[in-house]
Chain A
């Protein structure tokens, strides 16, 4: 039942659109894959943007979270409470970085299944393909789709190993762009693992998957890199980045800055989050995610001055969240 709904709503439309695209793009299935990947990425652009911004904002909160974890190491309940409070005040939703990924995942799987079914390597696959076709004349006349694209046979792995390298390379760049440096050795290890694990894993998979699928991965990664560049700049890829900011980013940063500027309710404990000795100086905050410019020319002293200008500011006096 679920399979039928999946086929009806997702798989069949994608398969038939791919065939039509192939027909109009010089009978090239390779171009059809690239075109559909661009279209799908375009449709999911708002989600991708949301995910990137949420991830970025989450990264910016890392120093503060580390502080809280350190501070409330023995009181889990209080820690959770404080974390929730921080998320709420900074306008960052923990689900913001996961939900878009979860929504996109079925689309990627459907796109993969469509490509595999259309490549129809075996007679069984090809025979099964007939069950997914619309009764559009163009669909029936366009099949079977040509497997040749550039030097590739889209139905078989790339024997020249160019695609595995491209898949791994583009994924590495993408991972590197979203990475931020951290002083926490545990997080550093995790970051390094993610930086190398995903690209290596997908490059390895590409060695035995049809080139058509690898083409889809490379195109997707390239698009993600482009989107990411416009959202966060080169991020962790280069040390000094050009400022790239969208309006929504500024909103996130302002909120985070407000959270950081706000004197903690537990200020008397000495855990002032605006202390220069916290993550800011260690590059934990905006630095590697391309947001350093936000603080450039202002610095901690300016922020401290801002706090001094509002010595008695409490939660009720905080600027209204937009």
Chain B
């Protein structure tokens, strides 16, 4: 066999290696920036209309009775959605991660392009956009509306409060790192977690800090307010109960999860149900933090926030399976295997669970039987 390791061969080999390198670098996704942000917005049901952010970057309103699209409008196209080398701007849709908020005929949704939009249902143009000029850092968490104010956290590390009707800034509060958590409100206190490992309690009126509580890891999950206590999971793999009034620690779970707590927990009848990325649902006594029963292994990471339907916890694992946990005996059973990735928060109304999958499908399941009612 003729072996020609001369300069020509070397050049060819080098060229091949460069191509191989670039292929290797770009092989698992968008070159340079990993994957393209796609979003995983959950839904919210108001008066038989479900609002969600679609995978195409649109705000969609669906009549859950006739399961037809009533209205949809895209957020503005974004240059940020396109990467550079190897990332042709195939899609300029703005990714939507947080579930929309609805109040006073307005639908609020935050985009990964760093803007928050308020739409009147049925209108193609937003009522207002914040900021009017330029963009904030990506908005990943959802927004909430209370007492005429819209609250949301941003990747720039700030919590913003806007006038819900006009979109003017009321106040902002700077944390130590980016915020992907959706805020929770209880009376005049706003609770939100940050990547700086802290849980903050802020005055909803003026944004002044009431207290802060530091955990051992970053916080992305949404705090649960239950019985004057804030329940939250952290990247340090522990679950915390913090007094809502003064921020003192009530308990830290003895059990250490195998991975992060990402999803928002739910509480029912003095018991906390917290899903973790280690595939398990931890069932803890709300008063003491002790495990009521051994954690339930669902076989796949849990990043989707569960929902309560009557006395059942409906929870989805990333692999597409939807489970129900009977709170009377804490036994789980599989409701449905949708065979599509699930990251979005679940929502429920009138005994029906709505699941938005990463394939862009919206499925409506009967919460009792698991029967698929419709898909869109």
Contacts and interface: CB of A to CB of B under 8 A. Distances in A.
A109 B3 contact: no
A130 interface: yes
Given A116-B34, A144-B177, A210-B32, 16 more contacts: A58-B10, A76-B2, A98-B13, A117-B34, A120-B34, A122-B37, A122-B95, A123-B180, A137-B236, A143-B217, A191-B7, A194-B11, A208-B31, A208-B83, A209-B31, A209-B32
A168 interface: no
Interface residues of A, number: 59
Contact of B35 (A80, A122, A137): A122
Interface in B31-76: 31-38, 40
B132 interface: no
A65 B8 CA distance: 12
Given A105-B20, A208-B85, A58 B6 contact: yes
Interface in A74-93: 76, 79-80, 83-84, 87
B25 A112 contact: yes
Contact of A140 (B2, B6, B178, B217): B217
A98 B9 CA distance: 10
A207 B11 contact: no
A88 to B, nearest CB: 11
A75 B18 CA distance: 33
Contacts, number: 139
B255 interface: no
A166 to B, nearest CB: 17
Interface string B88-112: 0000000101000000000000000
A276 interface: no
A230 interface: no
Contacts of B180: 123
Contact of B34 (A65, A95, A122): A122
B122 interface: no
A60 B32 CA distance: 39
Contact of B235 (A108, A109, A143): A143
A193 B15 CA distance: 11
Contacts of B123: none
A157 interface: yes
Given A94-B3, A94-B5, A127-B343, A198 B18 contact: yes
Given A97-B10, A122-B33, A122-B37, A201 B18 contact: yes
B237 interface: yes
A140 to B, nearest CB: 5
A25 interface: no
B262 interface: yes
B75 to A, nearest CB: 17
A84 B18 CA distance: 28
Contact of A124 (B9, B35, B85): B35
B96 to A, nearest CB: 11
Contacts of A94: 3-5, 9
Given A140-B237, A140-B260, A141-B216, A108 B21 contact: yes
20 contacts: A58-B5, A58-B10, A80-B2, A80-B3, A87-B5, A94-B9, A112-B24, A116-B34, A122-B35, A122-B95, A124-B37, A127-B262, A131-B277, A141-B236, A144-B177, A194-B14, A205-B22, A207-B84, A208-B83, A209-B84
A208 B84 contact: yes
Given A65-B6, A105-B24, A127-B343, A80 B1 contact: yes
Residue with the highest number of chain B CB atoms closer than 10 Å, among A124, A141, A157: A124
